[in-house]
Structure 1
Amino acid sequence: MINAIVMIHAESARIPETAQAVADLSGVTEVYSCAGDVDLIAIVKVRDHAQIADVVTGGVNKVPGVLRTATHIAFQSFSSADVEAGFSLGE
């Protein structure tokens, strides 16, 4: 599974509608509205790299209200449970 984090700059007056439209796209598992440098962050989970292009350039970038995006591909996933398990191996 390929995971990507898509930072989305959106029209401020359309953030709720834009977020919902992005969340409705196939391959998008979550969308967060947030404070900071970007308006929305979308999590994309697909089977291969070609699908990321389909979801982002063919889907997210065409949603009304999306001004621009920046996509980050995740190499590895960590969670607090994973980190704690790693430290407890020697016990």
Structure 2
Amino acid sequence: MVTSIILINAERTKINEVAEKLQEIAGISEVYSVSGKYDLVAIIRVKTNDDLADLVTNKMLAIDGIAKTETMLAFQAYSRHDLEAMFAVGM
């Protein structure tokens, strides 16, 4: 599983529209509107790096209103959320 965090700057009048379109894309598990330097943060969980590349370079590129992105690849998960998910499937 490949997890990525994408920081997104959107056109000011299209932030909500961009967020709604992002959450419809398979592989994007969460979208947050945030304060600070970026407008939105998307959490991506896909099977392979090729799936991530397709999502970023094809599917996200088709969304009107995205001005700039910065993609970060997660190496290790330390969150309680991930531990709870493991126990939920009986591991």
* TM-score where L is the length of structure 1: 0.84
Question: Would the aligned equivalents of 1:61 and 1:69 in 2 still touch at CA under 8 Å?
Answer: no
Query: Which has the greater radius of gyration?
Result: 1
Distance in 1, matches of 2:81 and 2:12, equals 37
Q: Given the alignment of the two structures, is residue 50 of structure 1 paired with residue 50 of structure 2, yes or no?
A: yes
Distance in 2, matches of 1:45 and 1:77, equals 12
List gaps (5 residues or longer) in structure 1: 83-91
CA RMSD of aligned residues (A): 1.5
Instruction: Give 1:73 shift.
Output: 0.4
CA 1:40–1:81 in 2, change beyond 3 Å: closer, same or farther? closer
Name 1:3's counterpart in structure 2: 3
CA 1:81–1:5 in 2, change beyond 3 Å: closer, same or farther? closer
Per the alignment, in what secondary structure is the counterpart of residue 61 of structure 2?
helix
Distance in 2, matches of 1:81 and 1:62, equals 31
Give the number of equivalent residue pairs: 82
List gaps (5 residues or longer) in structure 2: 83-91
Amino acid across the alignment from 1:36: G
1:75-86 matched pairs, under 5 angstroms: 75-80=75-80
Per the alignment, in what secondary structure is the counterpart of residue 58 of structure 1?
helix
Which deviates the most, 52-61 or 30-39? 52-61
Q: Given the alignment of the two structures, is residue 61 of structure 1 paired with residue 88 of structure 2, yes or no?
A: no
Per the alignment, in what secondary structure is the counterpart of residue 54 of structure 2?
helix
Q: Percent identity?
A: 38
